[in-house]
Structure 1
Amino acid sequence: MTDASTGPIAAEITARLTAALAPSRLEVINESAQHRGHAGDDGSGESHFRVLVESPAFAGRSRVERQRLVNRALAELLADHVHALAIRATAPGEPA
């Protein structure tokens, strides 16, 4: 089961991606429950996320460049709090 998350880490992911990328669409989905007891599960309930982000900042950029922009915006969280992050990054008008 996946949940749209409203915990403190999910809120921080939302805030940082909003500030860095001015997305026209952003979904932060907490998938931590699917990984309970696995490597990287810190017991916080906020260790594994999926983000769906659409931003004009991605126009003309490769998939790798888009993921680097997301990773850069979330670098501190990825180093200290988030074990896994799945990214779907699109420019406006592209299929999600």
Structure 2
Amino acid sequence: MVDVIDAPVQQLLKERMGTLTPIVLEIVNESQGHGGYYPGKESHFKLTIVSPVFDGLRAVQRHQKVYAAAGDLLSVGKIHALAIHAYAPDEWQGQSVDSPNCAHN
């Protein structure tokens, strides 16, 4: 695993989500739509992940697995907001879900 200091947050998040054996993984940096944005900022992400790990789990349990895999990336100064769209393979139909609007826009 790459050290947090050496790699952009989005790349680190991708590596961490790899531990959930995704068959679909999409990470979108949505920081530009939020307050305090500057070029290169990585604070708000939308994560779409499809994994057999989520079979039989409720949404909150899936989110807990994502939080555990993300670990310290969800701390102050790193990821401020993470919109999670987690699916089991039999639920996935290629859907794209919009993230909610930021309260600071």
Normalised to the residue count of structure 1, the TM-score between the two structures is 0.82
Identity fraction in percent: 40
Establish whether residue 90 from structure 1 lines up as the match of residue 52 from structure 2: no
- What is the CA-CA distance between 1:8 and the residue it aligns to? 1.1
Write the distance in 2 (CA, Å) between the matches of 1:13 and 1:42: 20
Normalised to the residue count of structure 2, the TM-score between the two structures is 0.75
The number of aligned residues is 86
Q: Report the counterpart of residue 78 of structure 1 in structure 2.
A: 74
Q: Which structure 2 residues correspond to residues 1-96 of structure 1 after superposition, within 5 A?
A: 8-18=8-18, 20-37=19-36, 44-80=40-76, 81-95=78-92, 96=95
Runs of 4+ in 1 over 2 A off after TM superposition: 41-44
Counting helix residues as a fraction of each chain, which structure ranks higher?
1
Where do 5+ consecutive residues of structure 1 fail to align? 1-6
Write the distance in 2 (CA, Å) between the matches of 1:17 and 1:46: 17
Does the residue aligned with 2:75 lie in a helix, a strand or coil?
Answer: helix
Deviates more, 1:59-68 or 1:43-52: 43-52
Q: Which amino acid aligns with 1:82?
A: I
Does the residue aligned with 2:91 lie in a helix, a strand or coil?
Answer: coil
Larger Rg: 2
Q: Over aligned residue pairs, what C-alpha RMSD do you find? A: 1.8
- What is the CA-CA distance between 1:30 and the residue it aligns to? 0.4
